[in-house]
Amino acid sequence: MFIKEKYYLITIIYLCIFKLNAQTAFQNFGTIQIHTNGEIGFHTNLVNDGTFDQNKGLVGFYNNNNFLEVLGANKPVFYNVEVDVVDDLYLGTSVGVTNNLSFITGKVQTPRDNTSISLEFLNYNVYSGEGDNEYVDGYVLTENIGEFIFPIGDDDSFRPMIIPNQEVNTYYKGAYFKENPNSPTTFLQSFNTKNMQFELSKINEEEFWDLDGNMETNVVLTWDSTSKINLISNDIKNLRVVGWDKITGKWVDLGSENVVGNINEGSIKSSKFIPNDYDVLTIGSDLRNVLGVITSKNYGISPNGDGINDTFVIEGLELYPNNTLKILNRWGAVVYSTTNYKNDWDGISEHELTIGKKTRLPAGTYFYILYLNGKKSSRTGYIYLNR
């Protein structure tokens, strides 16, 4: 450990250097503050049981021969951080970054079986040097504004997940798992890729993501050649973001607002959803183009009279004049039901059993069941109603 003095301040401090897991450690029991232009480099483990969260300057973690750990009862929060640890930096407590993180060598590891511990980007979203050998292997938390790209990966694969437009005073936490969702190693349940909405075709069995947050957002997922997208579709236009719904216990379609790239590399953007409603996310494909029935773009309507997405449109439905459409709220109550649907539902409750018939429904997520030509099989999905 070295301390380079450039306008730094250490107050009310009691430090101890001791042996931990055959390595020396720097332990803080008091209060440390690094001022602007101050620099501290840790070549040993850091144990923070005091106050170490009002910092400027640079904190670096350096070791060319071993791993390092950050431990202790309290979360340290740093301004600029460098990670140059050949056998990775392991977090036994969360670490906050308020300005910039530089990956030089090695990964930042957080315990995947304890999601309360994460690398936190607080009110800023800059990092550099990420790649297949330098990323966060575990959970990252963001409290920022605007776009945030999670620097996450697993098994020497960097696979970022993107929040395109994070709003103020929101937080999201996420991790990437290069695992088959049918047999995850750190979840108490499995996510059967055969259990899905009727309109979905296949679910990726190579990888998945976990995203937590209670505010609605879009998300962008990425893939490369190891994702084996060709096993779920040969046309990226048929790809969808899918999530394991906590209520129904199946994979459901979360939309596809934008797909770019090719079978070997690309990204896909979902429609808006609330992450906490879903256990995990991945990429799937659908059957709509094959079956000749395509629901309206983004699965969303905004009935404000501007002529854009004013009603719920199902393209190709004219091929099935004996169809029946039912729309339900998230509690399973039918709010709209009709036969021979005319692509004209505009967010008004209209069903003989609906309380408050002919009233404007509030903004939110609704679910539909579509029967074609009286067949027993049905197609289900969701619609986001925006006011």
Domain assignments of the chain as residue spans, ordered by start: 2-212, 292-385
Q: Which residue has the higher pLDDT, 316 or 227?
A: 227
Whether 289 shows a pLDDT value over 80: the answer reads no
User: pLDDT digits over 186-206, tens only?
Assistant: 999 999 999 988 678 899 999
Identity of the highest mean pLDDT range in 288-292, 341-345, 353-357, 371-375: 341-345
The CATH number, out of the four listed (2.40.30, 1.10.3470, 2.60.40, 3.90.1200), of the domain defined by the range 292-385? 2.60.40
Rg (CA), the chain: 25
Residue 321 is encoded by which pair of tokens?
């004049």
What pLDDT sits at residue 154?
97
**Least confident among 18-27, 50-59, 230-239:** 18-27
Whether 12 shows a pLDDT value over 70: the answer reads no
Q: What is the pTM of this model?
A: 0.73
User: pLDDT digits over 162-189, tens only?
Assistant: 999 998 889 999 999 999 999 999 999 9
